[in-house]
Structures are given as C-alpha cells and as structure tokens.
Amino acid sequence: MEFKSVQKETVVLNPAQEMALRRIPSEIRSDPLTGRTARICHFMALNWNKPDFIALVAGTEKNCPFCPERIMSVTPAFPPEILPEGRMRLGDMLLFPNIAPYDALGAVATLGSRHYLPMTEIGAERITRGFVLAKAFFQRIAEIGHPEGVYFIVNWNYMPPAGSSLIHPHLQVFATASAPNLMRQELEAAEAYSAKHGTCYWDDLIRAEMDAKVRFLGRTGRTAWMSAFAPMGVVGDVLAVTEGVHTTLDLTDADLSDIALGLTRVMAAYDRMGIYSFNMNFFTAAAGQDHSRFHLLFSPRTFFNQTLATPDIGALRNLFNETLCMAYPEEINAMIKAEF
C-alpha cells in the first residue's frame, strides 16, 4: 500500500509584507488504488457561514413534487412487469421512477414527507429506512432478472450546492449494467491488485489506515470509516468500507443501520464547519466480483465564493477531473474524529 505524494512550493513576493518572500506549499497525491491524482492546495480556514435557510427554502414547498399533497398525482409509476404496485412505500417514504432518468432503470426515493430537513436533523433511523426501501427495490429488480440488475447504486445529492434541484430530501436509486467511470476504474484496479498481491485492496487499505491512525475515524459494525488520502471534495471525502461485503445486495439491515449511523456522525462534524450540502455515492461490485468490497464516499459540497454562488467545481475538475482539497485530509480528519 503506497500513499504517494509530491510536495511542491510556490514562491511569491508578498504585498502585505513589503514584498517579502512568501512560500506557499502544495501537494499532489495519488490514490493508492487507481493512481488518480488529487491536489492539496488553495488552503483556507474550513469555516463557512450558513445561509438564511428560512429565506432559502421559503416558497419552494409550493410546487414541490415530493410533498405529500402532490406526490401521488405528479410522480410516475413503474410498469407492472417491473413493479405491479407501481411505486414502493415504506412509512412516509415513496420510491417511484426518476422522470429524468440517466439509465434504463432509475428511481427516486423520498426521505419522508418533510419538505426541508436540516442536515443534522435527518437522523440515522430515517437514512436507514431510505436505504432499506432502496434495497427492497433492488431485490425486486434482481428477482425478475432485469438485464440492468448488475450494479445497484444509491446516490445522494443533498441540497442545491451538491446538485439537487429540489429542497425536499431524496435519494437517487438506480440499477445499471453500465458501471460509472470511477466505479469501473476502481473495480478493474482492485482486480489487478488482487491478482498481483493475492489480497483484497480494500481489506489492506483498512489495515494500513488503522495502523497509520492519521486518517482512520472508527467503526460502526462491519463498516470502517476513514478520511480519503486523495480526496475529490474540496473539504475532503469520508470513505466507508463494509468488510466482507461485495455488493449492495449483500448489505444486511444491520449494515444499513450502521452505515446510516456513521453518516450522521460525519454530517454532524461537517455541520460544525458550516457545511450544509453533500454528495454520497455507493460503490458496489457486481455479483461474483469478490476482489472488491462495498464502500461509499461522502463528499461535502460548498462554494468557492458563497456570495456569488460560485460552485466548488471549476475547469480543473470539470474538464481534467483533477481535484483539489483546501486542507490536508489529516487535519480535516482531526475535526471529524471527535464524532467517532
């Protein structure tokens, strides 16, 4: 397990100190699995002002398709060969086809009837139920032998800075035979790693991070939590790996509950920095790809300029897929670790 990094230094003349030399460090890290590079640079204090949520949310409930008074009349239903009941319900949560699908078989699951849920009020129990509902849908897709029933993925864009067009909290739930780029690259790299070393990359990573301590966070059941060495998010990424599990369908209800609990701890920590938006993706193998382990990434989202609503993704990330993180992941880890 190699945690490779290249240290760099920029030298400028500092106008705030009579043009004295100022040295600015930066670092380029390589992901130990894929070799994908991430820049640690653009350093700033991890402290944002949250917006006025009452003003932000005000009025958005009037046309919200996911609010209980509208949801049954505006959301589509699955055809009977996929789901005879059309939509799936679990308590106040509803799963239905995504009207803006990006694959043949996409669903959306609301996280309940409340239109706006502050990040720290989402709660582990609600997240668990959302995941249980998603898994019930995946099991149905597997049972009917649907050709897209290969990779079972849950994505979460929470709040507009993370790409959500709606305030009402919901999960993207989809099954696909076409693995998304990074997931496919990871699966291929993990297979090559297993062939070369005779061990599982993800098991080795957990061991290496537990030994190194500086990025390890803790465990919830079979799931190990850590800060990513080469994060994609500008405020770092949190990685959770579930030991002994290859695919989303292998996750037990206890695993889903443990994962939800860990997520609420991560949310609580980022909330203290003023973060109120995040992406979360499941990374799953297909059945039989035993060289991989189920894992997820939690990536906080913010702005480069909050006043102008400048997104935290610019040309570097959008067109080069080169990422930058505005603090050392080990320093961010220290700010999250208290929750574990």
Contact positions toward Zn ion, by CB under 5 A?
64, 66-67, 115, 168
What is the total residue count of the chain? 340
Tell me the closest approach of the beta carbon of residue 2 to Zn ion, in angstroms: 47
Among residues 42, 36, 43, the alpha carbon closest in space to that of 321 is found at 36
Strands (E), the chain: 5-14, 20-30, 37-40, 88-90, 93-97, 105-110, 151-158, 170-176, 216-220, 223-227, 238-242, 278-283, 295-300, 303-305, 310-311, 323-325
Judged by CB, which is closer to Zn ion: 20, or 58? 58
Q: Please identify, using beta-carbon distances, which residue of 159 and 251 lies nearer to Zn ion.
A: 159
Angle (nearest 5°) at CA 32 between 28 and 36: 55
Complex with Zn ion: residue 29 or 170, whichever CB lies closer: 170
Tell the smallest beta-carbon distance from residue 53 to Zn ion (Å).
Answer: 14
Structure token digits, residue 265: 């701890």
Alpha carbon separation from 268 to 1, 177, 265 (Å, rounded): 31, 35, 5
The CB-of-89 to Zn ion minimum distance in angstroms stands at 16
Beta carbon of residue 62, minimum distance to Zn ion (angstroms, whole number): 9
Return the ∠ at Cα 83 (arms to 77 and 87), rounded to 5°: 40
Q: Please identify, using beta-carbon distances, which residue of 61 and 191 lies nearer to Zn ion.
A: 61
CB distance 212 to 197 below 8 Å: no
Tokens of 51: 């917006």
**For residues 99 and 78, is the Cβ–Cβ distance under 8 A?**
no
CB of 112 to Zn ion, least distance (A): 10
Of the candidates 126, 111, 95, which has an alpha carbon nearest to the alpha carbon of residue 158? 111
Closer residue to Zn ion (CB): 115 or 222: 115
Nearer Cβ to Zn ion, position 157 or 220? 157
Judged on CB neighbours under 10 Å (0-12, 13-18, 19+), 15 is exposed
> Closest CB to Zn ion belongs to which residue?
64
Tell the smallest beta-carbon distance from residue 69 to Zn ion (Å).
9
**Residue with smaller CB distance to Zn ion, 111 or 269:** 111
Instruction: Kindly state the tokens that stand for 175.
Output: 């099954």
The residue among 170 and 293 lying less far from Zn ion, judged by its C-beta, is 170
**Which class for 274: exposed (0-12), middle (13-18), buried (19 or more C-beta within 10 A)?**
middle
Phi and psi, residue 224, nearest 5°? -100, 135
* Rounded Cα distance, 191 and 43, in Å: 35
Q: How far is the CB of 126 from Zn ion (least distance, A)?
A: 15
User: In the bound complex, what is the minimum distance in angstroms from residue 128's beta carbon to Zn ion?
Assistant: 21
Strand 20-30 to 37-40 pairing:
antiparallel
Closest approach of Zn ion to the CB of residue 66, in Å? 5
Residue with Cβ nearer Zn ion (62 or 196): 62
